[in-house]
Structure 1
Amino acid sequence: MHIINDFFLLIWGERLNQEVVFDEKHTTEFDQYRLTSFDNFCDSVAILLIISPQNFANMAILEEPKTVLNTFFQHVIFNKENIQYAQSQLLGYFIVLGNLQVNHAITKRLELLKKEGIISYDAVRSLGSIISLIEEKKIEVTSLHVKSATTQENYYKTELNLLLTAIENLNQAVETPRLQERLHVIPERLENQRFSIGITGVMNAGKSTMLNALLGQEVLGTSVVPETANLTLIKYAKNPYAVVNFWNAKEWSKIEEGAKSLKSLEAFVKESKAHFGETFHTLVTPQGESETIAVNDLALYTSAKHSEKKCNLVKSVELYTDLKFVQDGVQIVDTPGLDDPVVQREEITLEYLSECDLMIHLMNAAQAATQKDVDFIIDALLYRNVAQLLIVITRIDTIAEKELQEVIAYTKRSIEARLNEQNKGAKLDEVIAKIVFIPIAGKLALMHKLGQEKEALALGYDMNRTGLPLVESYLEEVLFGANSQKANLIISANRKEIESIITESMSAFEQELHYLSISTEEIEQAYAKHQEEKAVMANFLEQIKTSVAQSKEEMEHYFGTLQKFASNQLDKLQNVVKRRITDDVSYEFSKNKKAPKEERIGSMIETAIKDGMVDLVRDYRYEFQKKMQSSLEYMDAKYGEFKTESTAPMFDAKAFCEEHLGSLLIFKNSTVVIAAANDAIKKYGKNDLSALSMNLETIFATEFSHIKEMLEEKLHKINHELLSSFVSLCEAPARSIEERFGAEGALIARAMHQMKDQTLNREARSMEIKEKERVMGIVLNDLNAQKESK
C-alpha cells in the first residue's frame, strides 16, 4: 500500500520496519463506529492522524488521544509503535472503504485544527495530499433488467400483457413477504377471468351451425349432436371431454307438477317414465347425478332423436374443448330452443344468461320475429340485465337482400307492437338502442372453416359475404375492445393493486434508507415510540372488533326483517295478479259476453309478475342500502382520527349494493300458471266468478309459493355474501392500520438487526434499494402511460 508508505515518509520521515497489511478484523468495529456516530468517528480519526514526531510528547500527556486509541484498539499503550499501527490500520480502512464523504470530512477537520493552531500549515498540506490519493471505491450493485411489453393485439390482451410484464419486473424488486404474496396472486386471478357468451333462439334457428363456424370445427354438428336438447356450457380444456348433469329429484318433481297443466309436458313425462322404468331413479336422484364422458359419446346424452332418450333426464352439459375460440377465457352458453316443452329448462337458461357478458339471439330469416322471439328479446332487455344484444339473422342465403331488410324492419315493428301491448311503448328507444343486427349464412361460413371453400364460392359466397367475420369482429370488440366495461374493470382493478404494491414497497424502502442513515440510539428511540403507539392501537383495534361484531349481529337480524318484507310484498303481488284477472274476466263477460283471449291473460299474468318482481327487488335494494349506509357511516365514524389516506377508501353503499344485489333476479317460467288460469276461466268464468276466484286463489298460491321458495333460496345465498362482504368492509381500515403498524415494526426490527450485523455494507444496501426503486419507478411510469393512453 504505497499511500501508507508515503504517509510515514512525509509525517514520520521513515519507513515502517515491515510491509503494511490492513487487518480485516478492524472493519466491523470501524464500520459500526462510523455508521452510528459519524462525527465522533471523524473527530477521533483526525486526532490520531495528526500525531507526529513534532507533537508526540505533547499528545502523550493529553487524555483525549489515549481515549481515542483505546476506543479503536482496546487497552493499547500510548507509544510510538502503537500509534503508527493505529495510523496504518485507519489509512488501510479508508483505502478499502473508498468513501469520499469520509475523506472530505477528515480533511475538513484538519483545516479546523490548523485554524485553532493545533497543527501547522505544512502538516495539513502533507496529510491532505496523502488523503487525496485515496480513490473513491465504486460499490458494484447488479443492475436489474427491466423487460418491456411489446404485444399489440386487442385492447384487453395488450393491457393484460402490460400488467403481466409489470408483475414480472416487480418480482425482482418487491421484498416485503406480504406484498410479494399480493403480487403473486394477480396472474392467477387474471388467468381465471371469464367472458361468457349466451346463445339463444327457437329450435332450428341455426345455433349449432353458427357455433361450429365460430369454433372452426363441427363440434356441435350433426355428426356429434344431431339435435341439442339441453343447455350446453362450452369451455376450454387441453384434453377435450364432457360432463353430463342430470335432473335431481326435486327439479323433476316440478316438471311433473307442470305436466298437470301442459299437455306437451305431460307427454314428455310419460315418455320418460315409460322408457326408463325401474332404472329411472338411478339417474334422477335426490342429490343429482353427473357423468364424465368422451366427447364422441355426447350424442347418446343430448340428442332428442337418440333411441336411449337420456336427453330427457339431462339438465345440462359441460363440453370442454381445446378449440382456439374459447382459449382466451371465453365460455359459451348454448341454450336449448325457446320453444322447448320442458319449461324448467328456460329457468335454468335464464339463470345462466343473466351472468353472460353478451347475449346472441338467432332468428331464421324465413321464420324471424315469432312472438316467442319478440317476447324473449323484450324480456332479456327489460328484466334480465342484458346490456347488449346481438341478433343474428341466419340462413340469409335462402332469401333476397330486399327480404332481409324487411326481416329487420319487421322485427323492430314487432318489438314496438309488443311493448305497446304491455303499456311499455316509452321503452322502445331504450330497447332498440341495445340491439345490433348481423345477417349470416352460417352453413356456408362453416364450409369455409372446414376447407370446403370451393363449394361455398360456387354458391356465390366468399367468407366476407357469409357475415361471420362481422360477428367475430363484433365479439372481439364487445368482449375485449377498449369500450368493454368488463375488460376495463378487470384491467383497472388489477392495475390499482399493482400501483398500491409499488407505493407500499417504495415507502418501506424510504423508511429503511432513513434507518440506515441514523444512529443506534435514534433507532432505539423510534422502536420505543412504536411500541407505545402499538399498545394504544391494540386497544383501539379491540374496540373496533367489538363494534364490528355488534354491527354484524344487527345486520343478521335485519336480514330476517328484509325477508319478511319480501314475503309480504309477494303476498300483495299475488292478490294484485288475482284481482286483475278476475276483474278483466268479469268485464269481458259483462261487456262482450265472452272470455278474454288466452294470449291476453298470459300477457297480463307474465307482465304483472315480472313488474312486481322488479319492484320488489328495487325496494329490497333500497331498504338494504339505507341500512348498509347507516351501519357503514357508524363504523367510519368509529375510526375517527385513526383513519389515514392509506386506509380503505370511503364506503360506497350504493356501489356495494349494485355489486352484490345485481344477481337478485328470479327466473320463473309462467307457462304452467298461465295454462292453469286459462283452464279455470273456461270452466268458471262465464257462470261462477266466485268459484273462479277461489280456483285462481289456489293456482296463484301454488305459483307464488314456488316463487317464495326460489327467492328465499337466492336471498339465503346473497345475504351470506352480503354479510361476509359487509364485515370485510368494516374490518378493512383496521386491517390496513394493523398492516401498517406491522410493517413499521418489521422495518425497525430489521434496522436494529442491521446495526448489529457486522457484515452488512450499508452503502451497498442503500444502492441496492435505490436500484429496486428505479425499477419500480419505471413500472409505475409505464402504468401511468397505460392509463393516459386509454
Structure 2
Amino acid sequence: MQKNDVLSALWGVELLRVDYAGQVVCDAHSGSIVLCANESNIARLECLASFTSVLKSVAGGKDKYNIQSAQAGILNALENLKMPRNELILALSRLNEVGILDLKYLEVLKSFMLGLNYDELSSPSASNTSFKRSMGELNEIAKELSLLCDKSMGSRLQKAINSANNANFSLALSGVVNAGKSSLLNALIAQNLLGVSNIPQTAAICALKYSDEPYAKIEFFSTDEQGQLPKKELKDINISLDELPKYTAASSELAQYVKLCTLGINAEILSGIDIIDTPGIDDAIKAREELSANYLKSCDSLLYLMNAAQAASAKDMAFLRDIVLTSKNSEILVLLTHIDKLSEAERLSVLEYTQRSVLEELGELNEELAKNIKYFLVSAPANIGINELKAHLFASFFGESSKKASIILNAYKKELGLIAGTLFSEFESELRALNASGAKANDEISKLKAQASQLELALNDSEQKIANITNSLKDEKISTQNEISAISSKIADRVMNEVKYRSAKKQKADNDLLFAIANSAISDFLIDLFRDKRRILELKLESFALNLKELLNDFSFKMPDFKEYIGSKELKIEQESLKNAIKEALKSSDLSKNSSALKSALNEFLSSLDLEGQIISLLSECAKDFKNSLENSLKELKEHFASQNEKILEFLSKNEQKSADLSQNAKLCAQNLNKAKELKERLEKC
C-alpha cells in the first residue's frame, strides 16, 4: 500500500493535492492524533481543543491541506524509520477504543505500517547511511593525497586513515534466560552460527567482530580473578570455531574459567559495529559479572531482551533500574521477543504493559531516559521486526544525527585538510625553487634552515614553559571542601531513593546494590568535579598554544577526557570502608536519620580521598600529554623541512642539466601543486 492510497482511503473525494516528499517527525501520541483525522470525524475533531493544539504544533494549522500534508509527512517519516511504528499503532488503537477512530480507518493505517519491511534501510551499506558515504568520500581524497606524499607525510596520512576507519561502534546485548539472544544474534549477522554446538553455551561474554577469515580467541581468568574456583594457570589461546566446545560447552571443565570469547566473523553488520553478548545479570563469577557490567555501561547502544510472554518481570525491572542508576548509555532498546506466539491484540497489550511498567519503575530515577527507551516487537525465527531493528541501529550509529559519527568524520576531515595544506605549501616552495636561479635556490635553503632553527628554539622554549606550568600546579590551591559537601548530598539522595523505593514495597534494600549505586555516583560526580578543575590548566595551555599556531600550521591540543584518566589511574577508594560507612549510616529504622547520617558518612569518606592531590596529579599528566603532542608536531615539521631541503639540494646538484629537464620538473611540480589545491577545495565541500 502506498502513501497516497492511505490518504485516499481516509479522505475519499476530499483528498487534496499534497506533497508526499516531506517528513513530519513527532512523538507517537501527537502523530496518532494527526493520523486519526479523516472524512468522517474531521468536523467533530475540530471542536476538540487538544486536537487543535496538536495540529497547530505538528501540522501548522487545522485546515484540510495542512492536516493531509502532515499525514503524508508522518507516513513518509515512518517509511524512513523516523517515527516509532509499534508505539504509533498502539496509540491509534487507543483512539479506536475510545471511539475517536473508526475500525476501518485503523485497519488502513495498520495495513500500511505493518507492510513496511525496511529492507532498503537494513543494510549498513545502504545508500541512506550518510556516515558511509562521507567516509567513502574522505577515503577517496586520502587515496589521492597518498600519491602526493613523501615517506614522512605518508606515514601521517596512514595514521589518519587507520584511526577513522577502525573507529567501531559497540552494541551490547543482555536478557534473562530464554529471551532469545542466540536467535537474535543469528538474525543480526545473517548466519545460522550462534546457539549451535560449537558456540559458547556458558555465561561467558562473547564479543563478535568483523573478520574476513573466521577465528576464535579464548581469554581465561587469571588465578587472582578465579575467586572460589580451584586455581588453574591458563594461557589465552587462538583456536578455530570447531574447537570452541572444548572450552565453552556446558560439559567442558574449562568453561567456568573462560573470561571472554572473541569470535571473528565475516558478517556485513560487523563492519563498523562490535556486538557484545553479555550474561548481564546473576553471573556466578564475580570478575566476569564486573567485566559484563563495564561493557553494558560503556556501549553505544544496549539491547535488552524480554520474552513477550513474561515481559517486565521483577528481574527485568531490577536490571533496568541498575543500568539507569549506574551507567550512562547513549541508547537503550527493549526487545520483546517470541511475538510470533502472540496474536496482534496480545502484542499491543504486552507493549503497552511493558511501556507503562518501565515508565513507572524508572520515571522517578530518570524520566527523560525512561521516556526515550525504544521498544521493538521481534521474532528472529519468524523474521518479524528484524529489518526494522537493523535499520534503526544503522540510522542511530551512522545517520546524520549520530554524534559519534560526526566526531569521527570531522576529525578525519580536519587532519586530511592539514595534510593537503602542508603539501600545497611544500609544492609552492619547490616550484619557486625550480623556477629560480641557483642563487634563489640557495635563498630557499637559507629560509628552510632559519625555519628549522626557529623550530629548535620553539622546542627548547616549550619544554621550559611546560615545565614551569607543571611546577606551578603543585603550588595551585585547589579547594574541594564545598564540592565534597554538595557531592555527598547528591550521592546520599540517590542511595536514599532506592531505600525509600524498597521500603514502599515493604522490601529490605540490598546492601550490595546500595554500594554499587554509591560507588557509581562517586565516580560520576568526581569526574564532573575534575572536569571543572581542569579549566585551571586549560587557561594556561590555551594561551601557550595560540602562540604556536602560525609556526605549527594551526597546532591545536584537545584536553583529554578526565573520565579516561580516572579509568586508567583508578581512584584509591577503599571498597570495604565505603561499604561499612553506608551500612553503619543506614542501621536506623528512621529514614530521616538515615539520610542525615549517610550524608555525614559520605562527606567524611570523600574527605579522606586526598582529592586535591589526585586532581593535581591528573593535571600534571595532561601537561605531559601536551608536551608530547607538541614535540610530535615539531618533529613532523622538522622532517618536512628536511625533505624540502633535500629536494632543493638535489636541484642544485643538477643545475647544469638541460633547461628542458628543468622545465619538465617544474611542470610536474605545478601539476602536484594544482592537485593539492583541488583536494583542499574538495575537503572544504565535504
What TM-score do you get using the length of structure 2 for normalisation? 0.66
**Matched residue, 1:296:** 242
**Matched residue, 2:308:** 365
* 1:470 aligned onto 2:388: yes
User: Distance between the aligned counterparts of 2:381 and 2:390, measured in 1?
Assistant: 16
Say if 1:239 and 1:595 are closer, same or farther in 2 by CA, change over 3 A.
closer
* 1:282 aligned onto 2:226: no
Say if 1:781 and 1:547 are closer, same or farther in 2 by CA, change over 3 A.
closer
TM-superposed deviation, 1:231: 0.8
**Matched residue, 2:420:** 502
User: Distance between the aligned counterparts of 1:378 and 1:368, measured in 2?
Assistant: 15
Alpha-carbon contact 2:188-2:269 (below 8 Å) kept: yes
**Cα-Cα RMSD:** 5.0
* Matched position secondary structure for 2:225: helix
Alpha-carbon contact 2:435-2:666 (below 8 Å) kept: no
**Matched residue, 1:80:** none
**Matched residue, 1:441:** 379
**Matched residue, 1:340:** 283
Say if 1:350 and 1:484 are closer, same or farther in 2 by CA, change over 3 A.
same
* Matched position secondary structure for 1:249: coil
User: Distance between the aligned counterparts of 2:217 and 2:152, measured in 1?
Assistant: 39
TM-superposed deviation, 1:776: 3.3
TM-superposed deviation, 1:333: 0.6
Question: Which amino acid in structure 2 is aligned with residue 282 of structure 1?
Answer: K
Alpha-carbon contact 2:431-2:670 (below 8 Å) kept: no
* Matched position secondary structure for 2:382: helix
TM-superposed deviation, 1:232: 0.8
* 1:415 aligned onto 2:358: yes
* Matched position secondary structure for 2:179: coil
* Matched position secondary structure for 1:417: helix
Alpha-carbon contact 1:151-1:161 (below 8 Å) kept: no
Instruction: Output aligned runs, 1:449-460, within 5 Å.
Output: none
User: Distance between the aligned counterparts of 1:202 and 1:664, measured in 2?
Assistant: 32
Alpha-carbon contact 2:305-2:334 (below 8 Å) kept: yes
User: Distance between the aligned counterparts of 1:672 and 1:401, measured in 2?
Assistant: 51
**Matched residue, 2:146:** 171
- Structure with the greater alpha carbon radius of gyration: 1
User: Distance between the aligned counterparts of 2:126 and 2:390, measured in 1?
Assistant: 21
Say if 1:574 and 1:211 are closer, same or farther in 2 by CA, change over 3 A.
same
TM-superposed deviation, 1:319: 1.8
Match of 2:263 among 319, 331, 339: 319
**Matched residue, 1:329:** 272
Deviations along 1:514-569, one digit per CA (max 9) or x if unpaired, are 223333333334444554564455334322223234445666x699x99x979x96
Alpha-carbon contact 2:511-2:583 (below 8 Å) kept: no
Alpha-carbon contact 1:479-1:486 (below 8 Å) kept: yes
User: Distance between the aligned counterparts of 2:126 and 2:673, measured in 1?
Assistant: 25
Instruction: Output aligned runs, 1:3-402, within 5 Å.
Output: 154-172=129-147, 174-225=148-199, 227-253=201-227, 269=228, 273=229, 280-283=230-233, 289-303=235-249, 306-326=250-270, 328-381=271-324, 383-402=326-345
TM-superposed deviation, 1:198: 0.9
TM-superposed deviation, 1:251: 2.0
* 1:481 aligned onto 2:420: no
User: Distance between the aligned counterparts of 1:495 and 1:188, measured in 2?
Assistant: 13
Alpha-carbon contact 2:219-2:237 (below 8 Å) kept: yes
User: Distance between the aligned counterparts of 2:153 and 2:652, measured in 1?
Assistant: 22
User: Distance between the aligned counterparts of 1:664 and 1:444, measured in 2?
Assistant: 45
**Matched residue, 2:371:** 432
Deviations along 1:348-374, one digit per CA (max 9) or x if unpaired, are 112223442322111111222234433
User: Distance between the aligned counterparts of 1:666 and 1:408, measured in 2?
Assistant: 41
* Matched position secondary structure for 2:550: coil
Question: Which amino acid in structure 2 is aligned with residue 166 of structure 1?
Answer: I
Deviations along 1:180-211, one digit per CA (max 9) or x if unpaired, are 33234444444433232111112222111100
User: Distance between the aligned counterparts of 1:724 and 1:428, measured in 2?
Assistant: 41
Match of 2:535 among 626, 633, 636: 626
TM-superposed deviation, 1:715: 10
* 1:761 aligned onto 2:661: yes
**Matched residue, 2:77:** none
Deviations along 1:546-600, one digit per CA (max 9) or x if unpaired, are 3234445666x699x99x979x969x9699869988xx89xx9xxx9x9973137
TM-superposed deviation, 1:632: 0.8
User: Distance between the aligned counterparts of 1:441 and 1:289, measured in 2?
Assistant: 39
Which 10-residue stretch deviates more, 509-518 or 185-194?
185-194
Instruction: Output aligned runs, 1:513-662, within 5 Å.
Output: 513-528=431-446, 530-532=448-450, 534-535=452-453, 537-552=455-470, 597-599=507-509, 605-623=515-533, 625-633=534-542, 635-636=544-545, 639=547, 643-644=549-550, 647-651=553-557, 653=559, 656-657=560-561, 660=564
Question: Which amino acid in structure 2 is aligned with residue 395 of structure 1?
Answer: H
Alpha-carbon contact 2:218-2:260 (below 8 Å) kept: yes
Alpha-carbon contact 1:201-1:361 (below 8 Å) kept: yes
TM-superposed deviation, 1:438: 1.2
User: Distance between the aligned counterparts of 2:682 and 2:467, measured in 1?
Assistant: 42
User: Distance between the aligned counterparts of 2:583 and 2:141, measured in 1?
Assistant: 66
Q: Percent identity?
A: 23
Which 10-residue stretch deviates more, 770-779 or 313-322?
770-779
User: Distance between the aligned counterparts of 1:558 and 1:396, measured in 2?
Assistant: 64
Q: Which aligned segments of 4 or more residues in structure 1 are displaced greater than 6 angstroms?
A: 574-581, 600-603, 664-668, 671-682, 684-687, 714-721
Say if 1:636 and 1:214 are closer, same or farther in 2 by CA, change over 3 A.
closer
Alpha-carbon contact 2:218-2:236 (below 8 Å) kept: yes
Question: Which amino acid in structure 2 is aligned with residue 240 of structure 1?
Answer: P
TM-superposed deviation, 1:665: 11
Deviations along 1:26-76, one digit per CA (max 9) or x if unpaired, are xxxxxxxxxxxxxxxxxxxxxxxxxxxxxxxxxxxxxxxxxxxxxxxxxxx
* Matched position secondary structure for 1:281: coil
User: Distance between the aligned counterparts of 1:784 and 1:495, measured in 2?
Assistant: 9
TM-superposed deviation, 1:468: 0.9
TM-superposed deviation, 1:660: 4.2
* 1:727 aligned onto 2:627: yes
Deviations along 1:3-44, one digit per CA (max 9) or x if unpaired, are xxxxxxxxxxxxxxxxxxxxxxxxxxxxxxxxxxxxxxxxxx
Deviations along 1:499-523, one digit per CA (max 9) or x if unpaired, are 2222221222222222233333333
Question: Which amino acid in structure 2 is aligned with residue 212 of structure 1?
Answer: N
User: Distance between the aligned counterparts of 1:553 and 1:292, measured in 2?
Assistant: 47
* Matched position secondary structure for 1:251: coil
TM-superposed deviation, 1:604: 5.1
Alpha-carbon contact 2:515-2:579 (below 8 Å) kept: no
Say if 1:335 and 1:676 are closer, same or farther in 2 by CA, change over 3 A.
farther
TM-superposed deviation, 1:622: 1.9
Structure 1 segments unaligned to the other structure (5+ residues)? 1-149, 254-268, 274-279, 446-465
TM-superposed deviation, 1:152: 5.2
TM-superposed deviation, 1:482: 3.1
Which 10-residue stretch deviates more, 191-200 or 521-530?
521-530
* 1:779 aligned onto 2:666: no
Deviations along 1:101-146, one digit per CA (max 9) or x if unpaired, are xxxxxxxxxxxxxxxxxxxxxxxxxxxxxxxxxxxxxxxxxxxxxx
Instruction: Output aligned runs, 1:688-703, within 5 Å.
Output: none
Question: Which amino acid in structure 2 is aligned with residue 414 of structure 1?
Answer: S
In the alignment of these two chains, the number of paired residues is: 549
Deviations along 1:301-349, one digit per CA (max 9) or x if unpaired, are 334xx334432222221122234432x2332110014233444433211
Say if 1:619 and 1:413 are closer, same or farther in 2 by CA, change over 3 A.
same
User: Distance between the aligned counterparts of 1:504 and 1:635, measured in 2?
Assistant: 22
